[in-house]
Structure 1
Amino acid sequence: MTGVVITGWSALSSAGVGVDALAGRLAGRELSAVPVSPGVGVGHLYEEPLPAPDGHALADFDVRARLGRKGTGSYDRTTALAVVCCQEALREAGMTVDDVTRKRIGVVLGTSLGSFKSTSDYSRETLVQDKPYLVNPMLFPNTVMNCAAGQVAIRFGLRGVNVTIAGGALAFLNAVRYAGNVIERGYADVMLTGAVEEYTPHRAWASHLTGSTTTVAAGEAAGMFALTSPQAPVWAGSRRSARILAVSTGYGPGGGEQAERALSGCVNRVLRRAGVDPDAISTVLTCEGDEADRREYGPVAYALGHRPRRIMAKRLFGECDAASGAVALAVLLAAGKDGVAAEGLSMLTARGADGAVGAAIVKGYADAGTDRG
């Protein structure tokens, strides 16, 4: 990909729904030195026991209040978060979906495995129901990994490319790279691109038992970005929030030092592809949660040759797994909503437990003006 422009975006996080909620949570904070937030009380959300009384969930989220009753009765939480977030992103971009444009708007959504709860609940039904295993067939669609992306397309009448990428920690960067390739090859003019992860007992316990969240609580989030080319038609949105100049992913088998070398290689590749001097990178947004954790920041600083400011969005919004990268980008854009931090060059990084790594360079525009050059 040669770079894509963000003409509109939105995020759902423990801060609330939309750009303003996220910007409000960040207002007045020094993002490079935020303390770890415990989240909010989540005990009332589910009858099942949870590993901790607090988490980073949208405790008062009500999909019917946002979208109405029609068509939402079958949504699981992952689908509800994704659809509402896309609605907000389309509104922020000022994009009208009609018979002319709908064929040129696609969706690419990153995830870990779809809705863990929906899949688990359906599997359980096949074991506990009386023979001949009378499972409610209405439960099945939500077990399909691409359910959320499909429902987004159905809700808004989008007929372009529709893709779900199961990439874990790398899901968002993989989604951005995929979207960029689709746009560059002319298959779509706009790709609603992002990632989603729900907070449920299943994910909370999975994070707790695998030790993937040592300093931050489990969370949920959705982040969606309207991506297009700088030469896109006017209907794709005239305002620019930022431009993603380049994305690179890699793999270091077994993790450890091999993953560190792979991440440094990703950094070098995105700098070369974007034509950016390493010294121009002022901020790195990593998916780390602990100040002492340097598994991403260390290789990045080594490749850049200096130590840029580090922002760890997980410390504010929890372990959001596949959606962590989308949350990090949303934090960067929300912090710059009033010209605070967006202008300049930043880098997003991600690293999975299996050794998968990735990096992207983002050019922010503090004025969010109309020139998308």
Structure 2
Amino acid sequence: MTADSLVVSGWSTGSPYGLGAEVFADGVRAGRDAMTASGQGPYQRAGEIPDFDVRAILGRKGTRSMDRATAIAVATTGMLLETAGGGLAEDRPDDIGMVLGTGHGSVQSIMDFTRDSLTGEKPFHVDPARFPNTVMNRAAGQSAIWHTLRGPNATVAGGALTGLLALNYASRLLRQGHCEAVLCGAVEEYSADRAWLEYRGRQDAARRSAGPLGEGCALFLLEPRSRAESYGRSPLATLLGSRFLGYPEPEGAQQAVVRAVTEALKEAGAEPEDVSLIVPSDTGGALGGREEAALNEVFGPHRPRRLRLRRLIGDASAASAAFQLAAALCVTGPGEVALVTSVDPDGQVGCTLLRV
């Protein structure tokens, strides 16, 4: 750990517990179920942000055609910048980058716009103001514009691993000197169309094992330790390393997780016994079982605490791993090492190690 170690020095969330890091931390520590009855899509329950009104939170100007995912990301970015302190948007906008993960962008916007082009009198009889919502990088771009962040801006999509991939992308931006600090994380919205796509895209066994869907955004401020301390921010966690691998067949998921975790530990110079907390993706079903078996294989008789987040806030899809990272920050004690793992049914696994 050096003065140039990359650290998380701030974070915020918009989650099924509500808006802000504190309400998320309180809910996770209490193990409180944040899912409520839903009238949208095939699922009876969902983890939706309670009482999220775009205009009430962001105002009327510029929000008439803003989609839900973008609004959640813009609001979460604002909360993080407000609490983080100096050296950010107000006085150093050119030095601050943004890396935001997403699944498809706003599924509801894409489906609505496509539907209008097919059902209208002519294909081009659509609302042009809503077209930007159909582009995957809408949330990242609008968040940066809204809060005057003029550094590198990137959108990452990688299934359930998206939050870990965004953190890794942000770390590379910093290490290559493209900016001085990065806001990174992932966002996902809940909608009827997303719920139906998720439901129809799963096989029967996966439908039974998968829980209700969730939504929200988790964002982190990543920067060198020396920069954080120069602006009076206490580092909340040090990034020790990440590893990402693919598996061609479902049966290969277990060994892929074993290898990813083993290599991440080696890169960090850590032993399995050093890990105090594991936050797995907890997908359930056969895939979840393989993830669990892999962790048992790596850690043997050492049994770190497990924090299972999905059953509390639902399946947040692209935002899942970002919420896992946030949960790790909530419950890990000073000096402890946390491991976040993620497994995606499309054939990729990943993990990230943090020291709090």
Shared fold, TM over 0.5: yes
Residue in structure 2 matching 1:255, options 247, 250, 253: 250
Q: Partners of 2:321 and 2:88 in 1: how far apart?
A: 27
Residue in structure 2 matching 1:76, options 55, 64, 67: 67
Q: Partners of 1:87 and 1:102 in 2: how far apart?
A: 14
Q: Partners of 1:109 and 1:342 in 2: how far apart?
A: 28
Alpha carbons of structure 1 residues 57 and 342: separation in structure 2 relative to 1, 3 Å: farther
Q: What residue in structure 2 maps to residue 284 of structure 1?
A: 278
Q: What residue in structure 2 maps to residue 370 of structure 1?
A: none
Q: Secondary structure at the match of 1:294?
A: helix
Q: Partners of 1:263 and 1:3 in 2: how far apart?
A: 26
The Cα offsets for residues 312-366 of structure 1, whole Å up to 9 and x where unpaired, read as: 1101010001101111111222335xxxx465001000111122000110111xx
Q: Partners of 2:232 and 2:195 in 1: how far apart?
A: 38
Amino acid corresponding to residue 79 of structure 1 in structure 2:
T
1:251, CA displacement in angstroms? 0.6
Q: What residue in structure 2 maps to residue 363 of structure 1?
A: 355
Q: What residue in structure 1 maps to residue 93 of structure 2?
A: 102
Q: What residue in structure 2 maps to residue 349 of structure 1?
A: 341
Alpha carbons of structure 1 residues 91 and 77: separation in structure 2 relative to 1, 3 Å: same
Q: Secondary structure at the match of 1:312?
A: coil
Q: Partners of 2:29 and 2:307 in 1: how far apart?
A: 15
Residues 1:40 and 2:30 aligned together: no
Contact 1:332 1:342 in 2 (8 A): no
1:244, CA displacement in angstroms? 1.8
Q: Partners of 1:142 and 1:286 in 2: how far apart?
A: 32
Q: Partners of 1:61 and 1:175 in 2: how far apart?
A: 25
Amino acid corresponding to residue 20 of structure 1 in structure 2:
E
Q: Secondary structure at the match of 1:295?
A: helix
Amino acid corresponding to residue 282 of structure 1 in structure 2:
S
Aligned length: 347
1:208, CA displacement in angstroms? 2.4
Residues 1:11 and 2:13 aligned together: yes
Alpha carbons of structure 1 residues 351 and 237: separation in structure 2 relative to 1, 3 Å: farther
Alpha carbons of structure 1 residues 62 and 184: separation in structure 2 relative to 1, 3 Å: same
After alignment, is 243-252 or 226-235 more displaced? 226-235
Q: Partners of 1:90 and 1:235 in 2: how far apart?
A: 17
Superposition pairs for residues 329-340 of structure 1, below 5 Å? 329-336=325-332
Q: Which has a greater percent of helix?
A: 2
Alpha carbons of structure 1 residues 3 and 356: separation in structure 2 relative to 1, 3 Å: farther
Amino acid corresponding to residue 76 of structure 2 in structure 1:
C
Q: Partners of 1:64 and 1:122 in 2: how far apart?
A: 22
**Root-mean-square deviation (Å):** 2.1
Residues 1:246 and 2:241 aligned together: yes
Q: What residue in structure 1 maps to residue 22 of structure 2?
A: 20
Amino acid corresponding to residue 352 of structure 1 in structure 2:
D
Alpha carbons of structure 1 residues 177 and 230: separation in structure 2 relative to 1, 3 Å: same
Q: Partners of 2:90 and 2:22 in 1: how far apart?
A: 31
The Cα offsets for residues 53-111 of structure 1, whole Å up to 9 and x where unpaired, read as: 32110131112222222222221011011111111111222235456511110000111
Contact 1:335 1:342 in 2 (8 A): no
Alpha carbons of structure 1 residues 3 and 216: separation in structure 2 relative to 1, 3 Å: farther
Contact 1:93 1:239 in 2 (8 A): no
Q: Partners of 1:16 and 1:196 in 2: how far apart?
A: 14
Alpha carbons of structure 1 residues 255 and 283: separation in structure 2 relative to 1, 3 Å: same
Q: Partners of 2:57 and 2:230 in 1: how far apart?
A: 25
After alignment, is 271-280 or 203-212 more displaced? 203-212
Amino acid corresponding to residue 321 of structure 1 in structure 2:
S
Residue in structure 1 matching 2:56, options 62, 65, 68: 65
Q: Partners of 2:146 and 2:343 in 1: how far apart?
A: 33
Q: What residue in structure 2 maps to residue 125 of structure 1?
A: 116
Q: TM-score, structure 1 length as denominator? A: 0.87
Contact 1:218 1:319 in 2 (8 A): yes
Alpha carbons of structure 1 residues 148 and 235: separation in structure 2 relative to 1, 3 Å: farther
Contact 1:289 1:312 in 2 (8 A): no
The Cα offsets for residues 116-157 of structure 1, whole Å up to 9 and x where unpaired, read as: 111111111110010253111111100010000000110111
Q: Secondary structure at the match of 2:307?
A: strand
Q: What residue in structure 2 maps to residue 161 of structure 1?
A: 152
Residues 1:230 and 2:221 aligned together: no
Contact 1:38 1:217 in 2 (8 A): no
1:25, CA displacement in angstroms? 1.5
Q: Partners of 1:233 and 1:12 in 2: how far apart?
A: 23
Q: Partners of 1:81 and 1:164 in 2: how far apart?
A: 15
Structure 1 runs of 4+ aligned residues shifted over 4 Å read 233-237
The Cα offsets for residues 284-328 of structure 1, whole Å up to 9 and x where unpaired, read as: 101114498322222123123333222111010100011011111
Gapped runs of 5+ residues in structure 1?
Answer: 44-48, 365-373
Contact 1:38 1:54 in 2 (8 A): no
